[in-house]
């Protein structure tokens, strides 16, 4: 039997796939991949010596040695893709990304972050805290960490931080040592079918955790029932008036309180089961990151990070690409870009904007992601987007899906009741510049927030330049 020396990635331009590709490349493996379109990420992979094909020809794959190659596939690649069909017919070993990640992390202490929202920011926070501490960690991240300019961290540690993806039950392939569950708001109903099936999947995942499960306090009781007897369950959250009303008697073993803004920075006190750490400063002063930070600090504390390391890690964390990145910030105009693509994520982003920039006129530009998600959560999307002063929708980004009759951005727009709502073409920068200039002339200060998980990020640089008025 030949040794594996080649990995072929179907969908190599995905953020999770690219981290694995980079990992195997650093191990001296031959790494090749396919992706549908050129992107900054695929260009970076090519610059690092990884071969990427953008067409569906069979020339490259026909030259592969079947016995020495593993094909790694993302679900975003359709079943009828010619390259995938040929590889399957020829009997190549084809594995899901999560299966491969599970193998890579099985012999390590896997520190996993699961949940509908907050996975990427929380896991990247955790990776940064541990990486700069005496504990150390490797990390496969679901976004580009601004501190490092990469989604892959490697050191000599036995620890590895992993974003645990619930899509098509991928996280069931992992063996978590410690895990966070940030939320369980139903999503991916095109895969799961029902909200109950979605939550059952998380219960199954919780049963796989070996040592400790750090769970949003509102979910802690149901996770106690799901977790194995050997696993300790901890609740976490933010102790403010609203949280106290929502969480009632739920136990918060790790929590923040005394959250405050001072000189444009956010500070809070961090409580563990044994101590209180006063005046923790958020490196990225975004309100939603307080809760994410509590979860990350909780796991780092359980892993032995000291108070000084926790404090410095939080202060020096510079965020994740497309996770509430503030690109323009003047007394008159602010521009924020965020990956939010689920109604709960949009709500958190909009609320953060309102808290950071009170009394400003807020325009949100949203690119819906997937026809099925738009259909399944149309009422929720409409309700959240209606809280903006002005809403612009881009055409739905299809990703892996084919269009659904009647499900369009125009259809969704009809359900929105903001002061001003409309569908925009894909060219945004010039339009936004003119809108902002007209309102500034009327004495109104503005915030623009772009949201979505599709390709709206391709327009961020142009919008940033246009809004530097």
Q: Which of 253, 246, 252, 176 lies closest to 211 in space, CA to CA?
A: 176
Region 233-261: what's the mean pLDDT?
Answer: 74
Q: 455: closest CA among 34, 36, 3?
A: 36
Kindly state whether residues 291 and 330 are assigned to the same domain.
no
Do residues 229 and 115 share a domain? yes
Residue 101 lies in a domain: no
CATH at 140: 3.40.1190.10
Contact 186, 195 (CB under 8 A): yes
Rounded distance, CA 318 to CA 69, Å? 38
Q: How far apart are alpha carbons 32 and 12 in whole angstroms?
A: 8
Domain for residue 1, yes or no?
A: no
* Element of type H or E holding 451: strand 446-452
Q: Where are the beta strands (DSSP E) in 3-104?
A: 6-10, 30-34, 51-53, 69-73, 93-96
**Residues 30, 111 share a domain:** no
Looking at the domain assignment, is residue 390 inside a domain?
yes
Same domain, 174 and 260: yes
Tell me whether residue 308 is in a domain. yes
Residue 198 and residue 268 in one domain: yes
- Domain hosting 210: range is 106-316
370 within domain boundaries = yes
Domain boundary among 30, 64, 96: 96
Q: How far apart are CA 159 and CA 256, in angstroms?
A: 26
User: For residues 242 and 395, which has the higher predicted lDDT (pLDDT)?
Assistant: 395
Mean pLDDT of 132-146: 93
* Mean pLDDT computed over 342-357: 89
Residue 310 sits in the same domain as residue 335? no
pLDDT band at 311 (very low <50, low <70, confident <90, very high): very high
Domain-embedded: residue 51: yes
Instruction: With beta carbons less than 8 A apart as the criterion, state whether 128 and 147 touch.
Output: yes
Asked if residue 298 and residue 184 are part of one domain, the reply reads yes
Tokens of 2: 């030949």
Q: 427-463: per-residue pLDDT in tens?
A: 678 878 887 787 777 777 889 999 998 889 888 899 8
More confident residue, 141 or 296: 296
Q: What is the pLDDT of residue 35?
A: 92
| Burial class of residue 313 (count of CB atoms within 10 Å of its CB; 0-12, 13-18, 19+) | buried
Residue 247 lies in a domain: yes
Same domain, 128 and 21: no
Structure-derived torsion over alpha carbons of residues 137, 138, 140, 144, reported in degrees to the nearest 10: 80
Condensed to tens digits (0 to 9), the pLDDT of residues 402-427 reads: 899 999 999 999 999 887 888 887 76
Residue 418 has a pLDDT of 82
Check residue 54 and give its pLDDT. Answer: 94
| Chosen domain end from 73, 96, 119 | 96
Please give the share of the chain, as a percent, with pLDDT higher than 70: 95
If asked whether residues 335 and 297 sit together in one domain, one would say: no
Helix axes 289-302, 119-131, angle to 10 degrees: 40
End of a domain among 278, 296, 316? 316
Same domain, 188 and 253: yes
How sure is the predictor about 211, in pLDDT bands with cuts at 50, 70 and 90? very high
Over residues 379-397, the pLDDT tens digits come to 999 999 999 999 999 999 9
For range 186-205, the mean pLDDT: 78
Average pLDDT over residues 43-66: 93
Q: Total domain count for the chain?
A: 3
Of 237, 243, 307, the C-alpha closest to 275 is 307
pLDDT higher at 199 or 111:
111
Q: Is residue 249's pLDDT more than 80?
A: no
Cα torsion 116, 328, 450, 320: sign: negative
Residues 208 and 59 in one domain: no
Q: Are residues 293 and 176 in the same domain?
A: yes
């Amino acid at each position: 039997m030949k040794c594996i020396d080649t990995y072929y990635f179907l969908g190599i331009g995905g953020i999770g796939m690219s981290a694995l590709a980079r990992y195997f490349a650093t191990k001296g493996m031959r790494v090749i991949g396919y992706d549908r379109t050129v992107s900054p990420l695929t260009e970076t992979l090519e610059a690092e010596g990884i071969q990427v094909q953008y067409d569906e020809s069979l020339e490259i794959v026909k030259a592969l040695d079947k016995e020495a190659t593993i094909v790694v596939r993302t679900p975003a690649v359709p079943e009828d893709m010619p390259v995938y069909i040929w590889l399957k017919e020829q009997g190549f070993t084809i594995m899901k990304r999560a299966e491969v990640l599970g193998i890579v992390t099985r012999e390590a202490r896997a520190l996993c972050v699961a949940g509908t929202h907050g996975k990427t920011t929380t896991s990247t926070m955790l990776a940064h805290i541990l990486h700069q501490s005496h504990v150390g960690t490797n990390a496969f991240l679901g976004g580009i960490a601004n501190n490092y300019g990469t989604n892959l961290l490697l050191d000599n540690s036995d620890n590895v931080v992993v974003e645990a993806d619930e899509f098509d039950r991928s996280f069931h392939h992992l063996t978590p040592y410690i895990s966070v569950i940030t939320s369980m708001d139903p999503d991916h109903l095109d895969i799961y079918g029902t909200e109950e099936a979605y939550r059952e999947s998380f219960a199954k995942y919780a049963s796989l955790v070996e040592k400790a499960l750090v769970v949003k306090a509102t979910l802690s009781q149901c996770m106690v029932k799901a977790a194995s007897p050997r696993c300790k369950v901890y609740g976490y959250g933010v102790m403010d008036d609203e949280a106290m009303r929502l969480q009632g008697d739920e136990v918060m073993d790790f929590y923040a309180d005394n959250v405050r803004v001072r000189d444009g920075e956010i500070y809070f006190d961090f409580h563990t089961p044994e101590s209180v750490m006063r005046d923790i400063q958020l490196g990225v002063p975004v309100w939603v990151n307080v809760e994410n930070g509590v979860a990350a600090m909780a796991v780092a504390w359980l892993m032995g990070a000291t108070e000084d390391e926790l404090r410095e890690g939080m202060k020096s964390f510079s965020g994740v690409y497309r996770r509430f990145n503030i690109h323009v910030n003047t007394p008159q105009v602010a521009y924020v870009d965020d990956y939010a693509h689920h109604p709960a994520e949009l709500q958190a982003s909009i609320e953060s904007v309102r808290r950071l920039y009170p009394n400003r006129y807020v325009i949100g530009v949203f690119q819906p992601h997937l026809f099925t998600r738009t259909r399944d959560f149309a009422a929720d999307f409409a309700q959240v987007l209606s809280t903006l002063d002005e809403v612009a929708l881009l055409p739905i980004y299809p990703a892996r899906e084919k269009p659904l009759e009647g499900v369009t951005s125009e259809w969704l727009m009809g359900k929105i009741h903001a002061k001003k709502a409309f569908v925009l073409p894909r060219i945004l920068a010039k339009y936004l510049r003119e809108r902002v200039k007209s309102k500034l002339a009327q004495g109104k200060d503005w915030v623009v927030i772009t949201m979505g998980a599709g390709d709206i990020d391709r327009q961020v640089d142009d919008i940033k330049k246009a809004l530097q008025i």
